[in-house]
Structure 1
Amino acid sequence: MKTLTTAEEDIMQHLWVLKEANVAQIIEQMPEPKPAYNTVSTIIRILENKEFVDYRKEGRGHIYFPKVSKSAYSKATANKLASNYFKGSYKSMVSFFMQQEDLSVKDLEEILNEINKKKS
């Protein structure tokens, strides 16, 4: 899966929530200061070229929708992170976040609960 820039990922985050939208609707959901219409439109075209977004014509405009689900992108991104920085080991990745104190014992307990649910 292709990598997204921060700006592209930001647009995708809004589009995943909206499910489908025109450029103006995407901008409406963005925080201040809002980007220019042309900026968002250009990023949408880049996302089309990367095959993350598709559109349908509606009147004189376009309605855009994600071709890649948020969960598929999240999984690919997590796999890439584990592969590039932790030799493919999720154990090493979790250990790293523990050492950085980014994970609490409560967080780990919740992760273990999720793992146990998957096993059941």
Structure 2
Amino acid sequence: MPHMKKNPAELTRCEAEVMDVVWGQGQVTVGDVVDAIDRDLAYTTVLTTLRILEDKGIVCRGEKIGRANTYVASVSRECVRDGMLKSFVDTMFGGSTRSLVLSLLHSSHVSAEDIKAVRSAAESLEVS
């Protein structure tokens, strides 16, 4: 895999939407991405976004299909997710994962089922 020029945590909303399609389909053309995204995005917008992602080292060009370039992921979804989460924790919680978790647990967006799942996951980590 090529070396990334920038931290994948720098993905914009549009870049993340495009990458969701790339990760889901494996190899895509610009047209594939335009068709897969549920909002109106111009072909040129998707092309520009893929070129930016290529410059960041997050996608690379695959084989040509006819005259169309294809693009494949150079970085896994997990790698990008980890980078984005680390950046978020560093920026919003001073690097404290504990502060993030406690903030989430005290949030009105967390259900009793979510808390139960977190408790179960924490207990299984303590055992291992």
TM-score (norm 2): 0.82
Matched, 1:55 2:57: no
* Map of 1:43 onto structure 2: 49
- What amino acid is aligned across from residue 37 of structure 2 in structure 1? M
Measure how far apart 1:114 and its partner are: 2.8
2:29 to 14, 18, 22: 22
Deviations along 1:54-85, one digit per CA (max 9) or x if unpaired, are 01232322111111111111111111111111
Structure 2 counterpart of 1:53, one-letter code: V
The one-letter amino acid of 1:37's match is Y
Other-structure match for 1:101: 108
What CA distance in whole angstroms lies between the structure 1 residues aligned with 2:124 and 2:117?
A: 11
CA distance, structure 1, for counterparts of residue 26 and residue 110 of structure 2: 31
Q: How many residues align?
A: 119
Large movers: runs of 4+ above 6 Å = none
Instruction: Name the counterpart of 1:91.
Output: 98
Paired-residue identity, %: 25
TM-score (norm 1): 0.87
Structure 2: unaligned runs, 5 residues or longer: 1-6
- 1:7 is displaced (CA, Å) by 1.1
SS in 1 for 2:48: helix
Decide which of 47, 68, 81 is 2:75's aligned counterpart: 68
- 2:122 and 2:107 map into 1 onto residues whose CA distance is 22
Structure 1 residues not aligned, in runs of 5+:
none
Question: How large is the Cα RMSD of the aligned pairs?
Answer: 1.7
